[in-house]
Chains A and B, each alone.
Chain A
């Protein structure tokens, strides 16, 4: 084996150096602008089991008689749930109106919605509306005036046990 000459070590260093710079640099640069300066982030995150599409119905005696004995439940409850209808209004302008479908092949699971929306810093009047039944008015509404600084993160959530829609910061 021949000894490695100093010139070879220099050549090797010349090979490694650009790779080191490349790895060192892209390991933390260039910066990614996640949210433009002066903007806040609004996130709507809702997971909720809506009401059933059709109300439960009492079975008649004849109907019950036709069913096998182990399936004679007094009520017939179609499993399908209603989609959620959700609206988000900011400073009087409708920003989002969307339907969230229940999960599951029978459409009987949670309906979920996740939506991120950057919004300029400042004071905003924000209204969220939600309907969790097939027809009718919005049965949940929440309205709030928020004073947002750049980089603030606001979460709009739904929590039935705490009375419905809520703003969290």
Chain B
């Protein structure tokens, strides 16, 4: 395991621990992107309120902001606090989200678009936040505006140093202040647009937290805003330089860094960090998996793969053979993660088909459904002592080959979500006493929806269903995650202990096989 992978198991262990307090669906560590969206909306809403009362001149701004805090106490004060703390929390949550995605290995491979489109969001968030501090026009605002101007002047974008504007009161003109307001509205709008682009690459983006999580976050922010009111520093005065400044380190830390080093050094750090983040997707090896391939003759255009693809890589197009169906699936290779979840969704992926060399409607090159059936049949034939267990695992989680034994067959899929439910039935009908499915840690599917779709298919709430006549006590799902092999072995052992061995060929637990051919198409 690399250091990154080890750090990620630690992160996942923390996530699992938090599940106990929040439940997987409302676990903040699992839903950082969604919380970031929520915090953005909280800052936007409170910002609109503050803007209504803002005097948009340099001379009047300070007083008008203080008035919201003091004269509209407690409502104004809490809303001001909400604006500040939601913005601060957004920084924390965004970097936590970045760290999680990095540790999960999501900087590389087919996710490059999500990663690259995330980087400008950092810049836009900082530009929005720092500019927000200027609207108060207190000592901190003057300090921050001057420091920013000194920084920008280092590369000499304007013919005259921008910092000159802030050097004396006569030059701090209202027109400049209008620009600040324009920036503090325009930049967050650009951030929102960037956030929208950022989630285009995934289907059903998790961009709003569950009610519980949203409520918890909102309560925490309001309590914080009420308990720790935000205050301005004294009004800006260009003739004075404050000796000490109480500043917001989440947004304004670059200023002290610049004064401790130099504007040039800060530029080097910022561009260095940006370049590093931007080249990360291409550092190190992570070859892309082969993309899904549609077999037109086996596709009836049902659209299940289209509905289940976590990366919106499938489109439905007019069928090449109109007599088969009006539509068929088409994969957009540039978007495909190669996860195989579509193969698990396709009704043509059933092993109860007669032909030896059948194709699924949508198949993964090198991991065809027909080959999977062959592999399963051979593994079943090789099983000796009982009760016989078939373990289906996933390449992204613990390597299930390690539990292979005389009584245990182990097959690894690209993602657990690639498993067509009919394979469970097929295994039980062909000699297995039980089927165990495992994969990434609970709620942490590396391909986003593999676990969810699999569980829903097993529960019969999502197509294709696992047929109702399959005895559920002979099926177990264990989200064992990565690197927990002893735990997985224990799970297999305890599952086996719950199973009774059947005589080979005994199908009394289910209806006869012949009647079931292609049955899942009409559940």
Contacts and interface: CB of A to CB of B under 8 A. Distances in A.
Interface of A: 4, 8, 11-12, 14-16, 19-20, 22-24, 26-29, 31-37, 39-41, 43, 45, 47, 103, 109-110, 112, 114, 116, 150-153, 155, 157, 168-169
B143 A24 contact: no
Interface stretch (B221-229, B413-421, B498-506): B221-229
B49 to A, nearest CB: 19
A12 B216 contact: yes
A74 B216 CA distance: 79
B248 A26 contact: yes
B212 interface: yes
Contacts, number: 124
Contacts of B153: 112, 114
Given A32-B247, A34-B244, A116-B150, 13 more contacts: A4-B212, A12-B21, A12-B22, A23-B89, A27-B250, A39-B243, A47-B160, A109-B159, A110-B159, A114-B163, A151-B243, A153-B241, A168-B168
A4 B163 CA distance: 55
A46 to B, nearest CB: 9
Contacts of A47: 159-161, 164
A33 B259 CA distance: 10
A27 B240 CA distance: 24
Given A23-B92, A32-B256, A33-B244, A169 B239 contact: yes
B28 A153 contact: no
Contacts of A23: 85, 88-89, 92, 224, 250
A20 B220 contact: yes
Contacts of A40: 241
A34 B20 contact: no
A45 B212 CA distance: 55
A27 B84 contact: yes
Nearest 7 A/B pairs, CB to CB: A11-B21, A16-B220, A24-B228, A31-B244, A47-B160, A28-B246, A26-B249
Contacts of B22: 8, 12, 15
Given A15-B28, A20-B220, A152 B88 contact: no
B242 A45 contact: no
B326 interface: no
Contacts of B18: 15
B239 A152 contact: yes
A87 B270 CA distance: 32
